[in-house]
């Protein structure tokens, strides 16, 4: 079995490990997050930084997320504001751009990594989440980092903590859809895929498109849900799978689903309720942002099985390395 599949399936234990990482962090540091935070990372870690920035803003803070290289070389074009903390995310903790941002930023620094690494050594506050991965592609650590930081946000902003045990159990329910998701890939040999998500689910859509590119070497796009009607949807036809990530659907979601089906595309809806889609995966339990981590396993499994069907080894995608160094 591919390491990637093993690691995707570790979501339930990842949530428990994330809770422990959060508890260890608050035991070690007398520290609460400030309101204005600048987040950064590369690749999947950049999309994760977008998620954390949105979760911060959702709680009344101000989260801004930029890829490391944009902070380094184009910062003046962005409304970074006056952050009181830099949060740098890197599964390996060794990505060159991430380390350079830490070296060149004089803000207090919080590092999130899966390994005792240079990133954590350069940080004032180290959030080490014990989710090492053998696969080049980031899967297991992504939702675990997300949950650990969400707990730190709840703790810092005096909000109720999420129930890690319950979310871990709910993630086992979501993973029971693995065979169903494999069946979609077997039944529908889609030529292209569009991921849609709004708000905190938009970076999940972006991460989904990246996973599909990395694992399946397959062209994929991601858009804020209703933006897709403004030109982008013209590519959708009988060879297209549209993956609609949604929490609580409303009439526009049903209309959009009907519109894509009218173009010959097939739709997979992932959320609390179906939208009249061809395929549906229910996300049980709480609404977003609490349940955001549960969506990751669905998009990771879809990309994994597309990769296998296309004859690729998702553990070591072509042209990619586990740690990007310059
Ligand atoms: C960042 C990254 C991953 C990508 C690939 C190469 O790594 O770009 O996001 O999926 O695995 O590395 P890291 O900084 O999170 O270790």
DSSP 176-218: TTHHHHHHHHHH---SEEEEEE-GGGHHHHHHHHHHHHHHH--
- Each residue's pLDDT tens digit, 259-304: 999 999 999 999 999 999 999 999 999 999 999 999 999 999 999 9
Query: For residue 79, what pLDDT band results from cuts at 50, 70 and 90?
Result: very high
Q: pLDDT value at position 214?
A: 96
- Each residue's pLDDT tens digit, 209-267: 999 999 999 999 999 999 999 999 999 999 999 999 999 999 999 999 999 999 999 99
Question: What is the residue whose two structure tokens read 């941002």?
Answer: 101
Q: How far is the CA of 136 from the centre of ligand 1 (A)?
A: 8
Phi, psi of 222 (to 5 degrees): -135, 140
With a 6 Å cutoff on the Cβ, whether 4 touches ligand 1 is: no
Protein residue with its CA nearest to atom 14 in ligand 1? 90
Q: Among 39, 41, 42, 209, which residue has the most ligand 1 atoms within 8 Å of its CB, making it the best to mutate?
A: 42
Query: For residue 323, what pLDDT band results from cuts at 50, 70 and 90?
Result: confident
Check whether 53 has a pLDDT greater than 90: yes
Query: For residue 322, what pLDDT band results from cuts at 50, 70 and 90?
Result: confident
Check: CB of residue 50 under 8 Å from CB of residue 68. Answer: no
What CA–CA distance (Å, rounded) separates 4 from 248?
30
Q: How far is the CA of 322 from the centre of ligand 1 (A)?
A: 6
With a 6 Å cutoff on the Cβ, whether 99 touches ligand 1 is: no
Check whether 320 has a pLDDT greater than 90: no
Task: Write down the pTM of the prediction.
Answer: 0.97
With a 6 Å cutoff on the Cβ, whether 44 touches ligand 1 is: yes
Kindly state the percentage of the chain with pLDDT values over 70. 100
Q: pLDDT value at position 110?
A: 98
Q: pLDDT value at position 45?
A: 98
Question: What is the residue whose two structure tokens read 């995608």?
Answer: 317
- Each residue's pLDDT tens digit, 132-145: 999 999 999 999 99
Q: How far is CA 6 from the centre of its chain?
A: 18
């Amino acid at each position: 079995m591919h390491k990637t599949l093993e690691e995707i399936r570790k979501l339930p234990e990842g949530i428990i490990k994330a809770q422990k990482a959060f508890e260890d962090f608050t035991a070690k540091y007398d520290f609460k997050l400030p309101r204005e935070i600048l987040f950064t990372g590369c690749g999947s870690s950049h999309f994760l930084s977008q998620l954390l920035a949105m979760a911060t803003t959702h709680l009344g803070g101000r989260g801004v997320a930029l890829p490391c290289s944009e902070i380094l070389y184009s910062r003046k074009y962005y409304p970074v504001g006056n952050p009181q903390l830099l949060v740098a995310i890197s599964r390996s903790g060794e990505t060159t751009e991430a380390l350079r941002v830490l070296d060149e930023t004089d803000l207090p620094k919080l590092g999130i990594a899966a390994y005792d690494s240079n990133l954590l050594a350069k940080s004032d506050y180290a959030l080490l989440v014990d989710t090492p991965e053998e696969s080049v592609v980031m899967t297991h650590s992504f939702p675990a980092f997300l949950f650990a930081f969400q707990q730190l946000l709840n703790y810092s902003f005096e909000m109720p903590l999420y129930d890690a045990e319950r979310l871990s159990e709910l993630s086992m329910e979501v993973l029971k859809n693995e065979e169903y998701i494999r069946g979609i890939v077997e039944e529908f040999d889609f030529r292209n895929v569009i991921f849609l998500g709004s708000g905190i689910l938009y970076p999940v859509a972006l991460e989904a498109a990246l996973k599909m590119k990395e694992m399946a070497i397959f062209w994929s796009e991601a858009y804020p849900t209703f933006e897709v009607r403004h030109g982008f949807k013209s590519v959708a036809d009988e060879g297209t799978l549209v993956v609609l990530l949604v929490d609580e659907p409303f009439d526009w979601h049903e209309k959009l689903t009907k519109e894509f089906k009218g173009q010959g595309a097939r739709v997979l809806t992932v959320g609390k309720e179906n939208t009249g889609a061809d395929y549906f995966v229910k996300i049980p339990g709480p609404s977003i942002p609490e349940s955001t981590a549960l969506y990751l396993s669905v998009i990771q499994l879809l990309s994994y099985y597309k990769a296998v069907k296309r004859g690729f080894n998702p553990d070591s995608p072509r042209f990619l390395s586990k740690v990007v160094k310059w």
